[in-house]
Amino acid sequence: MRDRVVARYVIERYRKGEDGLEGETDVTAVGSRSLAELFGCPHDRFVDVYAVQPRHAEGLAALTGLSFDLGEFDYFLSVTAD
């Protein structure tokens, strides 16, 4: 029997021009297929860190209820295995 890899999906927030993590929000409940589709990545290769662009922020806001201040912060979707 193969071990099942479980991925975790987290939105990370960094103040523009700075390296320190300001905060993070787990969005795993949205589902890997929905997130992969939103970021235009094949589901079977959705294992990286993705910069959140305005089109992604709009979709993420609709899926999660989060708000994004793209003028003040840079956001990234980080995909990690638990």
As a whole number of angstroms, the distance between CA 47 and CA 50 comes to 9
What is the model's pLDDT at position 4?
54
Contact 19, 1 (CB under 8 A): no
- Parts of the chain with a pLDDT under 50: 1-3
- In single-letter form, the type of residue at position 34 comes to S
What is the model's pLDDT at position 30?
94
